[in-house]
Each structure stands twice: as C-alpha cells, then as structure tokens.
Amino acid sequence: MTTTTGLQLCTFRLDQLYLGIDVLDVQEVLYHADVTAVPHAAPAIRGLINLRGQIATTVDLRSRLDLPANNDPDARPIHVVVRTGGESVSLIVDFIGDVLEIDPNLYEPPPETMTGIARTLIMGAYKLDGELLLVLDVAKAVNVRSQSMEVAT
C-alpha cells in the first residue's frame, strides 16, 4: 500500500495563470452545464446551474480575477464544482489540468509582483519545473459579495 504525504491539488488554467485548489474541495468537474442568468447579480456571477436538483451559483473566475474575457467563439467553459461553507459553487475555468501531488515544504507566499484582487485571492505558490502553480483561496474566490469591499494593493 502506498501512502501519500503531499498535498493533492486539482489544477486548471485561466488565461495565462496556472492555478490549483485542494482536491478535497472539489466535488466534480463538468464539461457542459446550462447556466441560467441572474438579474442584477455581481459581474462575477455568471448565473446558476442545476446539479441533479441542487442549485449552484456559477462564478466566472476571469471576471473575479479581473482578467480579460475569453473572446474565443469556440471556447467551452469548464465548471469546477467546489464545496465551501456547506454549499456547492461552480468556478468557470478555461482548461482543467491534472491532480498533482505537491510537497507542502515547497509552499511560498504569493509573488510580490502580484497586485489587485489576485493578491487577495491567491494563498501562495509552488515553483514547478518551468512554471508557477498559484493556489487559489476557494472561500475568498466564491465570496463575490465582498469583492467591492476588497482593497487592491
């Protein structure tokens, strides 16, 4: 029997960012979901999806991180459904990656060059071969109501 000592992160891409979240926070990944718009919702709220009778809010991570919209007409949003605060929330990402096992001793604080809202939503980073894996704070990312109160640094 093999035991794991590292942290397992579900990875995904958003624009030029390589992001990860704890695999234990991930409920499922959906490659297609009909999204129902919510009138007067915050810009980062794309709408609602139905998960087998359970309604989940859909958060557009590009909007949440102040990234440009994906203007690729062939792009299909991928939903990473996470559990946080006792509810399911869908995070829209560009591409889903692998589940990586990371040595927790390689954890570093967010890069000093990171600014704006991303600075508050990224918990830290792992330097991988030729790439930086940023760890998203899921609880803060889905808390869109506080977005207008966050201060860009």
22 in any annotated domain: yes
| CATH code assigned at 94 | 2.40.50.180
Q: For residue 20, is it within any domain?
A: yes
Per-residue pLDDT tens digits for 79-106 = 999 998 889 999 999 999 999 999 988 8
User: Is 27 inside a domain boundary?
Assistant: yes
What pLDDT sits at residue 39? 92
The total number of structural domains that make up the chain? 1
Q: How many CB atoms lie within 10 A of CB 123?
A: 17
CB 106 within 8 A of CB 86: no
Instruction: Specify the 3-state DSSP secondary structure of 21.
Output: strand
Instruction: Tell me the mean pLDDT in the region 20-27.
Output: 96
pLDDT of residue 58: 96
**Contact (Cβ atoms closer than 8 angstroms) between residue 57 and residue 48:** yes
- Domain containing 114 equals 7-149
Q: How far apart are CA 127 and CA 136, in angstroms?
A: 15
pLDDT, residue 10, reads 97
Nearest Cα neighbor of 33 from 88, 99, 84, 115 is: 88
Query: 87-93 and 54-60 as β-strands: parallel, antiparallel, unpaired?
Result: parallel
For the entire predicted model, the pTM comes to 0.86
pLDDT band at 4 (very low <50, low <70, confident <90, very high): low
Q: Is residue 2 part of a domain?
A: no
Q: Is residue 106 part of a domain?
A: yes
pLDDT for the residue numbered 118: 87
Q: Give domain status of residue 95, yes or no.
A: yes
| Average pLDDT estimate for 119-148 | 87
Mean pLDDT of 127-140: 92
- Amino acid letter at 104? P
* pLDDT tens-digit series, residues 41-84: 999 999 999 999 999 999 999 999 999 988 888 888 899 999 98
Would residue 1 count as lying in a domain?
no
